[in-house]
Amino acid sequence: SAVISQKPSRDICQRGTSLTIQCQVDSQVTMMFWYRQQPGQSLTLIATANQGSEATYESGFVIDKFPISRPNLTFSTLTVSNMSPEDSSIYLCSVGRLAGVQDTQYFGPGTRLTVL
Amino acid sequence: AQRVTQPEKLLSVFKGAPVELKCNYSYSGSPELFWYVQYSRQRLQLLLRHISRESIKGFTADLNKGETSFHLKKPFAQEEDSAMYYCALGFYSGGYQKVTFGTGTKLQVIP
């Protein structure tokens, strides 16, 4: 398994500002993923972050709005830029230890973001 | 497109009763299916995956390719099974592995 921590655990922000969420893993992992879970909805994949390459964004998500860094095999950040109330959500980091669709994903505790 | 459907938002059962959480998927390739669970105030975690053919906490799930289903079952519900359950599909897209989640079913076990 993998132990994942996220910072901050929650935040309340003003519209127009940006927030950077950190994801730290206790061991080196190949795949890191960022999800958004809006109130009452399921998890939506924002992007896949692999070390040493650009993040791959899903339809509806763009790098200017959600820039991601992956400087090494144990750490990643997601920035939510120019926030609006519609960005209020739980943001989750997850990791996969192996490459392959049969791999289990391990999830962080999430960051609960409220935008006023 | 890949899709996972969980038709029930809430399922309430009495303790000791059988449980079946429904999951249907659409995917043209060979599916990799998972059930994830989120207990109150805990993080999302894997419950089981079809490739392992395992039983975890008394839960089982069988992949039925004909019906494109992966229903989660338990013969006798326990109070500690109350949680949010997500069915998920792993697949490749554009050379990248991804997972798509269903909308989740909240299981409420009544004492």
What does the pLDDT look like over B8-41, one tens digit per residue? 999 999 999 999 999 999 998 888 899 999 999 8
**Contact status, residue B50 vs residue B60, Cβ threshold 8 Å:** no
Residues of A at the B interface (Cβ-Cβ below 8 Å)?
31, 33, 41-43, 45, 48, 56, 58, 92, 94, 96, 99-110
Q: Which residues contact B84 (CB under 8 A, 6 or more apart)?
A: B37, B38, B104, B105, B106, B107
Which one of 3.40.630.30, 2.60.40.10, 1.10.760.10, 3.40.50.410 gives the CATH number of domain B3-110?
Answer: 2.60.40.10
What single-letter DSSP state applies at residue A58? P
Q: What does pLDDT average to over chain B?
A: 91
How much is the average pLDDT of A9-32?
Answer: 94
B4 vs A107: CA distance, rounded Å:
19
Phi and psi torsions of B50, nearest 5°: -70, -30
Phi and psi torsions of A111, nearest 5°: -120, 120
Instruction: Write out the two tokens for A49.
Output: 């972050």
How much is the average pLDDT of A67-96?
Answer: 94
Instruction: Write out the two tokens for A103.
Output: 């791999």
**How many angstroms separate the CA of residue A31 from the nearest CA in chain B?**
9
Residue A112 confidence class, pLDDT cut points 50, 70, 90: very high
How much is the average pLDDT of A28-44?
Answer: 88
Runs of H (alpha helix) within A1-116: none
Percent of chain B with pLDDT over 90: 68
Number of neighbouring beta carbons within 10 Å of residue A104:
20
Q: Which residues contact B43 (CB under 8 A, 6 or more apart)?
A: A107, A108, A109, A110
Identify the CA nearest to A41 among candidates B108, B2, B86, B47. Answer: B86
Sort out which chain B residues have CB atoms less than 8 A from A105's CB and list them: 36, 46, 99
**How many angstroms separate the CA of residue A24 from the nearest CA in chain B?**
15
**Contact status, residue A66 vs residue A79, Cβ threshold 8 Å:** yes
pLDDT exceeds 70 at position A44: yes
Residue A88 confidence class, pLDDT cut points 50, 70, 90: very high
Please answer yes or no on whether A107 and B49 come within 8 Å at the CB atom: no
| Domains defined for chain A, CATH in brackets | 17-102 (2.60.40.10)
